Amino acid sequence: MSEVDVSIAQSQTSALEINKVLKNTYLLLSLTLAFSAVTAAMSFNAPPINLWMFLGGAYGLLFLTHFLANSAWGLLSVFAFTGFMGYTIGPLMGFLLATQGGSQIVSTALGGTAFIFFGLSGYVLTSRKDFSFLRGFIVAGCLALIAGMVFSFIFQLPALSLALSVGFILFSSAVILYQTSSIINGGERNYILATITLYVSIYNIFMSLIHLLMAFSGDD
C-alpha cells in the first residue's frame, strides 16, 4: 500500500471516529435533557434545595463523571448528574408554571436556549471552523464569573446579578462553540465528556435566561 493510500485510509478512519463521537454526543445529550425534564417535573412541589447541598451534589457528581468518563460507569454518572440538576430546578419551574406569566417565562427561556444552542452548533457544523482560539477566553471568563459570584454573594447587588447572567450566557455560548469545534476537528474523542460540557452550557444558558426574564417581568 502506498503512502497516499495509507493517508486516505487514516483520513477515512478519523472521519468515521469523529462522526461516531458526534452522533453519540448528541444522542446522549438528548437523552440526558429528557431525563432532566422528567426529574424536574417530579420535583415541582418539592421544597427548594439547600444551596450547599446543591453545590456539593452538582460538583461532586460532575467530578465523578469526569473520573468515570472512560468507563461504562461514566454513563450512569452522567444520568445521575443530569437527573440531579433537573431535580434542583423543579421547584422553581413548578412555582413559575403556577403563577401568571410564569409559563411564558419558561417557554421563552426554553425557546431562547434552543435557538442559541442550535444556532451556534449549526454554525460550527456547517462552517467547520476551528474555535480553539477561544480557550483563553473561556479560562479567563471562568475565573471572572467565579469572582463575580463570590462578590455577588457577599454584597447582594441586583445589577451585578443580572450582569452575571449575561456573562454566563456569553461564556456558555463560547463553550458550545469550542466544544463542538473540538469534536468535529478530532480534539475531543470522549462523547461522555463532550455531552457533560454541552449539558452544563445549556443549563447555564437556560437558568440565566430564566433569571433575566424574571427580573424584567418583575417576578424576581
pLDDT for residue 110: 96
Burial class (CB in 10 A: 0-12, 13-18, 19+), 125: middle
Task: Assign residue 210 a region (left: φ > 0; alpha: ψ between -120 and 50; beta: otherwise).
Answer: alpha
| Residue range 17-31, pLDDT digits in tens | 888 999 999 999 999
H-assigned helices in the chain: 3-42, 51-67, 73-97, 102-127, 135-155, 158-184, 191-217
| Residue range 5-15, pLDDT digits in tens | 434 444 555 67
Please work out, in degrees rounded to the nearest 5, the angle formed at the alpha carbon of residue 183 by the alpha carbons of 180 and 189: 145
pLDDT for residue 219: 56
| Residue range 119-168, pLDDT digits in tens | 999 999 999 999 999 999 999 999 999 998 888 888 888 888 899 999 99
Q: Could you identify the residue written with the cell 440538576? A: 85
Q: Rounded to the nearest 5°, which phi and psi values hold at 175?
A: -65, -40
Separation between Cα atoms, residue 37 and residue 84, nearest integer Å: 11
Amino acid at 1: M
Tallying the residues shown for the chain, one arrives at 220
Q: How far is CA 35 from the centre of its chain?
A: 14
Separation between Cα atoms, residue 33 and residue 37, nearest integer Å: 6
